[in-house]
Amino acid sequence: RFQALLKTYEQLSSFILDTIRVDLRCRAIHYLDSAMRHASPFGTYDSNYEAVEPDPHVIDLNMELVDCNEFISKGLLEKDRSYLFSGLGQLMEQLLIHNGRLLRIPNSFGVKKIMRNILALQQSIKTLTDDSQDSEFERAKTYYSLYFISPQVSKNRA
């Protein structure tokens, strides 16, 4: 009887960890999709001025991740906390690249703002995980740096 109860609690614990892991990913998808799809007046990517802060949706995502980490750190083992955040940076990077198709006509100020978003996410992920692959965002940086290349230069490179 005790063993069955113990197994039930272990299964419940595993289910809760998986649920939190999925929730963190859903939040990342929501906020990054909102940042690219529904740009606020301060989050447009064809701006006439250089933004000094990341997109408000990126700021909100980072705040929620920090809040979640603080809450989780109080009650979970490090291996469980690490499990929750592992791969999150790679998902964010993939979303940033994939959602690039949603940009209408970004100008250099808009692309710089996206690079600022990437930097903010990179810093946030570095504090949450020990995996350097998770926190580099090199593919996203390379992808958005291509916006700075003129069509003629791109054509000549091919």
Q: Residues 109, 144: contact at Cβ < 8 Å? A: no
Calculate mean pLDDT across residues 130-150. 85
Q: Between 78-85 and 56-75, two packed helices, what is the crossing angle to 10 degrees? A: 160
Judged by average pLDDT, the poorest of 13-17, 38-42, 121-125, 146-150 is: 38-42
Judged by average pLDDT, the poorest of 21-35, 56-70, 97-111 is: 97-111
* pLDDT over 80 (residue 81): yes
* pLDDT over 80 (residue 145): yes
The Cα–Cα gap between 13 and 20 comes to: 11
For the chain, the C-alpha Rg in angstroms (whole number) is 19
Calculate mean pLDDT across residues 13-26. 97
Calculate mean pLDDT across residues 133-138. 84
* pLDDT over 70 (residue 41): no
Mean pLDDT of the chain: 88
Read off the pTM: 0.86
Tell me the residue length of the chain. 158
Q: Residues 99, 33: contact at Cβ < 8 Å? A: yes
* pLDDT over 60 (residue 40): no
Residues 101-123: tens digit of each pLDDT: 887 777 888 889 999 999 999 99
